[in-house]
A and B are shown apart, each in its own frame.
Chain A
Amino acid sequence: MKFQFQDLSQMLTMDGHGVYVWSAVIVTLIIIIGLIVRPLLQHKVALNQIAQDLAREKLRKEVAGESN
């Protein structure tokens, strides 16, 4: 197994096919990274939201308890 190009700049151009190959690589990488990052962010947001709701609920119960 050997490296197929003389140097990295030749690997970038790929005899004129570089534009096609590298645009495929870049778009694929952006989308698959997005498919990982998006649910990770949503996971965090969902947990915070639930924690906030629980805290609010608790506070309301305490206030209701005092007024009785």
Chain B
Amino acid sequence: MNWTWFYRLGSPLWFYQTTTRWLPWLSLLAIVLLSTGLIWGLGFAPQDAKQGNSFRIIYLHVPTSFLALAGYFLMAAAGAIGLIWKMKLSYMIMKSAAPIGAALTFLALFTGAVWGKPTWGSYWVWDARITSMLILLFLYFGVLALQYAFHNEEAGNKASAVLALVGTVNIPIIYKSVDWWYTLHQPSTIKLTSAPSMHPDMFQPLLVMILGFYCFYVVALCLFTRVEILRRERKTTWVGELAARSSYEVESDKK
């Protein structure tokens, strides 16, 4: 069996070149989807019968929460691939996923808090869903901090990969928390196994927002990873040539 595609996938140069080609299109798609979804959701989706207009926060809360969880899976998977196959690129992706995931988890908590105030009467309650999301935020912080805690880059990579993997225990707990415990948080609106418990007029803009946030996530992850590639591969010929070419362009712009 031919495994070269697998090794090419692990090549920072290949990743850098491919993302240079695809990023403009993906960014455009993200902008179009997010602005469409936001205007649709905020202005045109019908009001919720019980929650009124505060329900419109769902168009930010659900996509950010989705990505906070999916991003954690991706980070842990990248860590595992790094541990098993010693793939450089995969550690770079793991490191890049941590700040983005932390920011999205914070957003999920923040949008949840400002939704909670008009709906539950409180910004914060220590219930299962919210507390397990807070733990997710701390796990992201932990992975971030471990990266910088070691002088040896390799040791930092391995330690954060192990923490990321151990932390995946938390993900099913977050998913199931609304079913396992008595909680204020409403059960999931969207399920893989059944139709969404939401009117199509409300659901369609949500779907657009979720797709838009997925595109945004990929763009952000690629951008962070590209910076990491430059830093870690700075001694290679291709990065040197790239840097020389870009500084030459800057100088000719000045003239």
Bound-state CA distance A25–B231 (Å) is: 34
Question: Are B247's CB and A15's CB within 8 A?
Answer: no
Let me know if B165 is at the binding interface, CB within 8 A: no
Interface residues on A, range: 35 or more
Question: Are A20's CB and B223's CB within 8 A?
Answer: no
Question: Are B107's CB and A35's CB within 8 A?
Answer: no
Question: Are B44's CB and A47's CB within 8 A?
Answer: no
Question: Are A17's CB and B242's CB within 8 A?
Answer: no
Which residue of the partner chain, among B43, B64, B224, contacts A39 with CB atoms under 8 Å?
B224
Whole-angstrom distance from the CB of A54 to the nearest CB of chain B? Answer: 6
Which residue of the partner chain, among A4, A14, A20, contacts B117 with CB atoms under 8 Å?
A20
Contact with A along B196-230 (1 / 0, CB 8 A): 00000100000000000000100110011011001
Let me know if B100 is at the binding interface, CB within 8 A: yes
Let me know if B183 is at the binding interface, CB within 8 A: no
The 3 closest A-B pairs by CB, nearest first: A51-B247, A39-B223, A14-B53
Chain B residues contacting A21 (CB-CB under 8 Å) are: 42, 53-54, 56-57, 114
Whole-angstrom distance from the CB of B153 to the nearest CB of chain A? Answer: 16
Question: Are B227's CB and A24's CB within 8 A?
Answer: no
Let me know if A50 is at the binding interface, CB within 8 A: yes
Chain A residues contacting B53 (CB-CB under 8 Å) are: 14-15, 17-18, 21
Which residue of the partner chain, among A2, A27, A32, A46, contacts B227 with CB atoms under 8 Å?
A46
Question: Are B220's CB and A1's CB within 8 A?
Answer: no
Can you give 13 contacting A-B residue pairs, CB < 8 Å? A4-B46, A4-B47, A14-B56, A15-B53, A20-B54, A21-B54, A24-B57, A32-B103, A35-B220, A46-B230, A50-B234, A51-B246, A54-B244
Chain B residues contacting A23 (CB-CB under 8 Å) are: 114
Let me know if B143 is at the binding interface, CB within 8 A: no
Let me know if B45 is at the binding interface, CB within 8 A: yes
Contact with B along A1-26 (1 / 0, CB 8 A): 11111000001001111101101110
Q: If A25-B42, A54-B244 touch, does A46 touch B231 (CB 8 Å cutoff)?
A: yes
Question: Are B54's CB and A42's CB within 8 A?
Answer: no
Which residue of the partner chain, among B46, B47, B107, B242, contacts A28 with CB atoms under 8 Å?
B107
Chain A residues contacting B250 (CB-CB under 8 Å) are: 48
